[in-house]
Amino acid sequence: MIEQPQNTLKNPAKLEGVGLHSGSKVSLIINPAPEDYGIVFRRTDVENFDNFIRADYKNVTKTQLGTVISNSQGTLISTIEHLMAALWGLGIDNALVDVSAAEVPIMDGSSDPFIAAIEASGIKKQAANRKQVKVIKEVSVEEEDKFARIIPSDNFSIDLEIDFNSKAIPTQKRIYSDNTPFKDALGKARTFGFAHEVDYLRSVGLARGGSLDNAIVIKDDKILNQDGLRYEDEFVRHKLLDCIGDFYLAGKRLIGGVKAYKTGHKLNNMLLHRLFSDKTAFEIV
Cα gap 93→248, rounded to integer Å:
10
- The half-sphere exposure of 102 on its side-chain side, counting CA atoms within 13 A, is 10
For residue 16, give the H/E element and its range.
strand 13-18
93, 8 in Cβ contact below 8 A?
yes
Active site residue 82: no
DSSP annotation string for 141-193:
EEETTEEEEEE--SS-EEEEEE--S-SSS--EEEEEETTS-HHHHTTTPPPEE
Distinct helix (H) and strand (E) counts, the chain: 6, 21
229, 113 in Cβ contact below 8 A?
no
How many CB atoms are located within 10 Å of the residue 181 CB? 11
Task: Kindly name the residue from 21, 196, 265, 273 that is annotated as catalytic.
Answer: 265
Backbone angles phi, psi at 130, to 5 degrees: -70, 135
Cα gap 161→169, rounded to integer Å:
12
Cα gap 191→217, rounded to integer Å:
9
Cα gap 215→110, rounded to integer Å:
8
- What lies within 8 Å, CB to CB, of 133 at 6+ separation is 250, 251, 252, 253, 254, 255, 256, 275, 282, 283, 284, 285
Active site residues: 265
